[in-house]
Amino acid sequence: MEPLTIKAARKERRVAPALAGSALIVVVLALLPLMMPAAPLLNVQSAIGLALFACATNLLIGYGGLVSFGQGAFYGIGAYVVALAWLHLDASFWVSLVCAPIVGGVVALAAGLLALRTRRLYFALLTLAVSQLFYVVVQQQEKFTGGANGVFGPIVPSFLLDPANGYWFTLAVVVVGLLALWQVTRSPFGMTLRAIRENRERAEALGVNVFLHQLLAFVISGAFCALAGVLFVVYDQSANPNLFNWTESGYPIFMAVLGGQFTFLGPALGALIYEQARDVLLASFTDSQLVFGVVLLVVVLVAPDGVAGLLGRGGRILAGRWRAIAPARLGGTPGGQADGADNPAGEAGQHETVAH
Amino acid sequence: MSQYLITFLSALTDASSLFVAAAGLTLVFGALRIINIAHGSFYAFGAFGVTTVVGAAAGGWRFWLALVAVPVAVAALGGVTEVTVLRRVYSKDHLAQLVVTYALFLIFGDVALRVWGSAARSVPVPSVLGGSVTIGAGEFPVYDLFAIGVAVVVGLGLWTLLQRTALGWRIRAAVEDRELLASAGTNVPLLFTTIFVLGALLAGLAGALGAPLQSVSPGLDSSIIISAFIVSVIGGLGSIAGAAIGAVIIALFNTAGVLWAPSWEPAFIYLAMIAVLALRPWGLLGTAER
């Protein structure tokens, strides 16, 4: 067990600069409302909400090796719990804010019990079917859900309608959500999840209950996707059936792939890049999907570990040069480098660049 | 009685184009282990291509030309796609494969929008196939019978190809063990290109065949790929016979839904898929993924 302990210690050492870097990013993001007009601020707010959606989805994809094409279901559920509770029960937003992730988790439990009987592509397609089921049912049951138009109105408390307040609220919820998710990935549970992804048979042979671990991951991911769905209502003051559509479920996957599925904050980075780039693309190209498709192709074929992976690699090259110049300072061997590429712990990743 | 027969035949008409599309998807998956989301784009290209070749003129020889030339053109596009892009992702994980084919789907979607615009188009049925036949007290369109006939011919043709020809023997061998096939001297990359071209041909044919049955508009690619997924997953990915059974099941479910529970109708196919996979995680005729 000795090497593992050393590795863990090395990892702990990397956590401090990563946390410092992340804290710096949060501070910069928190200051944005003071220096930005409302319209672009709303765009950043949307990206921050999607960052939680993408990171929650990546708990399944990057950590669990489970490609769910149906996380839009839980995103939509989060939005609709808040919207329907307001519409039918006149419930307080704060109560529904707490209830939405719980409902998302419960639905994920039911869906997971079913979907996790299958593997790989069948799992992807079955989760897709679950989200499409919600998509068509929500569209059809007009009396209860508002049909294709969705639900809109003063769903959120009035003080959140102020652009800066809405933004800060979103940022706060996402920071808390990401910290919680990060703790999940660092826990023994998160480690076991990765072990299952790497070698399911071996994990089984070691006595790990694979199904239970994957089910719990699915429930946690569903709950946090639902929380991100609540933030969509804060952003858009509406809930609409398109949130359930399979194309919506595709976005967090692309954000994870674009940003880097093997680093914790990679998907968040992907969400920020995607949202900003989409605005630029929509403004300057008529064929924005074409450009986005080409970018995705290039990322998958050339940089499978995404932008965070690229930054991490660049950072490690710089670090390697630095070590060559001052070998005594860091103790010489570039041993910490090898595990970065295939290790989704990734507290290294882009933050190594920040640190150096 | 004849009313039920006509209802059943309309369900089979829906199933026919769906089967041809799903057969291509499942064939490609069986050998290449890739779920090709861009299969929906090939279908849409097939349908749009027919609108271009046929034009506004009703009837005539142009439809027959389109029915042959358009699928061949789509197949050629499939070949180019396989050689330039897909070949690079066979060795990658299924997430990368899904993302790549989705990226192609997005690219092709915008290309179709550029070429054919966003207005809905319709294709007139050729005069030979116009009109309808009398079945008991009801009428049934001749073109719908033609579509069913083409699907049956395609099904039998695929079965013959896979069971009775050397190419089919190789395709089945590639499904079982591609390394062994390569070491036995088969040019596996060429075989894969051939299979992908065949899959694209089927998608193009399904689109061409389905064009007169529906309004051809953007969004066709996304709706057909979902239906084709469901059909091939219910039947068991990789199984042509499964695709046929799946297509008929889905079409019957849809028809039953329209008849008995219109407001829940769109949910039926997803419930059917979830129910089948809950009982048989690998589909009706599929084999467990290794």
Average pLDDT for A301-325: 74
Instruction: Name the residue type at position B132.
Output: S
Taking the Cβ of residue B117 and every Cβ of chain A, the question of whether any pair is shorter than 8 Å is answered with no
Q: Which helix H or strand E contains B257, and what residues bound it?
A: helix B240-260
> CA of B268: which chain A residue's CA is closest?
A133
Higher pLDDT, B45 or A207: B45
pLDDT for position A87: 77
CB-CB: which of B94, B100, B277 is closest to A120? B94
CB under 8 Å to B163, separation ≥6 — which residues?
Answer: none
When scoring A117, A133, A246 by the number of chain B Cβ atoms within 10 A, the one with the most, hence best to mutate, is A133
CB under 8 Å to A308, separation ≥6 — which residues?
Answer: A259, A260, A262, A263, A265, A266, A269, A346, A349, A350
**Has residue A40 got a pLDDT over 60?**
yes
CA B167-B170-B174 angle, to 5 degrees, is 140
DSSP state letter for B128: G
> How do A238-239 and A151-152 pair as beta strands?
antiparallel
Crossing angle (nearest 10°) for helices B220-235 and B240-260: 110
At A89-105, the pLDDT tens digits run 877 878 888 888 999 99
Model pTM score: 0.82
pLDDT for position B254: 82
Q: What is the ipTM of this complex?
A: 0.80
Cα–Cα dist A10/A192, whole Å: 19
Are A218 and A60 in contact by the 8 Å Cβ rule? The answer is yes
Taking the Cβ of residue A250 and every Cβ of chain B, the question of whether any pair is shorter than 8 Å is answered with yes
pLDDT for position A346: 40
Q: Please report the DSSP string for B2-23 in residue order.
A: HHHHHHHHHHHHHHHHHHHHHH
pLDDT for position B92: 80
> CA of B34: which chain A residue's CA is closest?
A121
Are B167 and B193 in contact by the 8 Å Cβ rule? The answer is no
pLDDT for position A3: 53
pLDDT for position A224: 95
Interchain proximity A287–B110, CB inside 8 Å? yes
Average pLDDT for A211-238: 91
Interchain proximity B92–A304, CB inside 8 Å? yes
* Domain limits, chain A: 2-355
At A131-150, the pLDDT tens digits run 888 888 888 877 777 777 77
Q: What is the pLDDT along chain B (290 residues), one digit of tens a residue?
A: 677 888 888 888 888 889 999 999 988 988 888 888 999 999 999 999 888 888 766 557 788 888 888 999 999 999 999 999 888 888 888 888 888 998 999 899 889 888 888 888 888 787 777 777 887 777 788 888 888 889 999 999 988 888 888 888 888 887 777 788 888 888 888 888 999 999 999 999 999 888 888 888 888 888 888 889 889 888 888 888 888 888 998 888 888 887 787 777 778 888 888 888 878 877 778 776 54
Q: Which of A144, A246, A261 is nearest to A194 (CA)?
A: A261
CB under 8 Å to A342, separation ≥6 — which residues?
Answer: A262
Q: Which residues in chain A have their CB less than 8 angstroms from residue B273's CB?
A: 126, 129
pLDDT for position A53: 93
According to the 3-state scheme, what is the secondary structure of chain A? CHHHHHHHHHHHHHHHHHHHHHHHHHHHHHHHHHHCCHHHHHHHHHHHHHHHHHHHHHHHHHHCCCCCCCCHHHHHHHHHHHHHHHHHHCCCHHHHHHHHHHHHHHHHHHHHHHHCCCCHHHHHHHHHHHHHHHHHHHHHCHHHHCHHHCEECCCCCHHHHCHHHHHHHHHHHHHHHHHHHHHHHHCHHHHHHHHHHHCHHHHHHCCCCHHHHHHHHHHHHHHHHHHHHHHHHHHHCEECHHHHCHHHHHHHHHHHHHHCCCCCCHHHHHHHHHHHHHHHHHHHCCCHHHHHHHHHHHHHHHCCCHHHHHHHHHHHHHHHHHHHHCHHHHCCCCHHHHHHHHCCCCCCHHHHHHHC
pLDDT for position A231: 92
pLDDT for position B89: 85
Q: Is B139 helix (H, G, I), strand (E, B) or coil?
A: strand
What would the CATH number be for the domain defined by A2-355?
1.10.3470
pLDDT for position B276: 84
Taking the Cβ of residue A261 and every Cβ of chain B, the question of whether any pair is shorter than 8 Å is answered with yes
Cα–Cα dist B100/B36, whole Å: 9
Q: Which residues in chain B have their CB less than 8 angstroms from residue A140's CB?
A: 263-267
Q: What is the mean pLDDT of chain A?
A: 79
At A247-302, the pLDDT tens digits run 778 888 888 888 888 888 888 888 888 888 877 777 777 777 788 888 888 888 88
